[in-house]
Amino acid sequence: MVNFLHISDLHISKSLNETRVGKNTTRELLKTVIELAHTLKPEPSFLVFSGDLTDKGDIESYEYFYSVISNSKFPSILALGNHDDRSNFRKVFFDSPSDKPYFCTLEHENLKIIVLDSSLPGKVSGSICDEQFRFLEEALSNNDKHNKLLVMHHPPWLGSDSYSWTTLDQKSSFALSKLLEEHSVSGILCGHIHLNQFTNWNTIPIVASSGLHSTIDKFENDKLRLLEGASVNFCRLRGAQLSATCLQIYPIGSEIRRINKKFLLSMK
C-alpha cells in the first residue's frame, strides 16, 4: 500500500499575497500543508504537485517553493502548469534553464509515476507533444510490472460540454485515450480546473484537485466566480487501485464535538 498527498495549483506569487490576509496566502497555505502532512496517519510517502506551482513563473516564487519543499522530509514530484515558466523552474531546481517541456518518471517501491508537461506557452489549454507521447509509450511498457500513475496539469477533454481552455486539446486527448487502451494505469492526477472533480475516463480514474489558490463557485452560472478555498487529496494505492480523499485545508469549519477513538473502535 502506498499513501501520498496530491497538491495542485499553488499559484505562489508575491502579488497574490498582497490581496489576502494572514495565513490565507498561498505561501502560508503551502507551509500549512507540509506541517499537516507530518501529522497524517499513515504518513504520506511523497507529495505530488500537479502544476501551476507559481502564478507568474517568476524566479522568486520558485525559490520560495523550493525552499519550503526542500526543508520538508517528503520527496516531491513536480509537474508544470500553464502559469509556470519552464526556464525559470529549471533554473531554480536544476540550475540549467531550458524552455523544453519538463517530463520525467520516478519510482517508489512498486509504483512508477509518470509526469507529463501539458503546458503550452502562451495558451491556457493544454497539449501533449509527440516527443512526450513517445516517452510515455516507453514508460508504459507492458514488460514493466510497476503500477503506473500519470501526473499532468490539464485533465483530458471529455466532450464539447466543457470550455476548451479547461482541458487538454482534443488531438492530445484522443491520442492519450488510444495509447491508454493498450496500457494499464491506476489513475491520472490533474489540477487546472480549481475544482475537486473525480471522473471515470474510459475506466481510468481522473482525480483533479481544486488546489491551494481558490475554488470555483459552481452555483454561479453567469460568471466565473472564484472563492477562497484550499484542499489537497490524500491518495492511497492498494495494489493498482487508487482512492483519493479530499482534505479541506482552508477554510475550516468550527468543531462540533470530539468522539473517543476507543468508543469508535468498539462500535459495530
Which residues would be at the binding site for Fe ion (CB under 5 A)?
9, 52
- Nearer residue to Fe ion within complex by CB, 82 or 173: 82
Helix (H, G, I), strand (E, B) or coil at 94: helix
Residue 48 CA, chain-centre distance (Å), reads 6
- Nearer residue to Fe ion within complex by CB, 135 or 169: 169
Terminal Cα distance for the chain, rounded: 26
For residue 50, the minimal CB distance to Fe ion (Å) is 10
For residue 52, the minimal CB distance to Fe ion (Å) is 4
- Nearer residue to Fe ion within complex by CB, 64 or 135: 64
For residue 82, the minimal CB distance to Fe ion (Å) is 7
- Nearer residue to Fe ion within complex by CB, 27 or 112: 27
DSSP secondary structure, 232-267, as one string: EEEEEEETTEEEEEEEEEES-PPP-----HHHHHH-
- Nearer residue to Fe ion within complex by CB, 13 or 172: 13
Q: In angstroms, rounded to a whole number, what is the distance separating the alpha carbons of residues 150 and 185?
A: 7
Q: In angstroms, rounded to a whole number, what is the distance separating the alpha carbons of residues 37 and 4?
A: 9
- Nearer residue to Fe ion within complex by CB, 165 or 174: 165
Q: In angstroms, rounded to a whole number, what is the distance separating the alpha carbons of residues 102 and 109?
A: 23
Provide the grid cell at 25.
496566502
For residue 153, the minimal CB distance to Fe ion (Å) is 8
Confirm if 125 and 162 have CB atoms less than 8 A apart.
Answer: no
For residue 192, the minimal CB distance to Fe ion (Å) is 6
Q: From the CA atom positions of the chain, what is the Rg in Å? A: 18
For residue 10, the minimal CB distance to Fe ion (Å) is 9
Residue 221 CA, chain-centre distance (Å), reads 26
Neighbour count for residue 31 (Cβ, 10 Å)? 14
Residue 68 CA, chain-centre distance (Å), reads 17
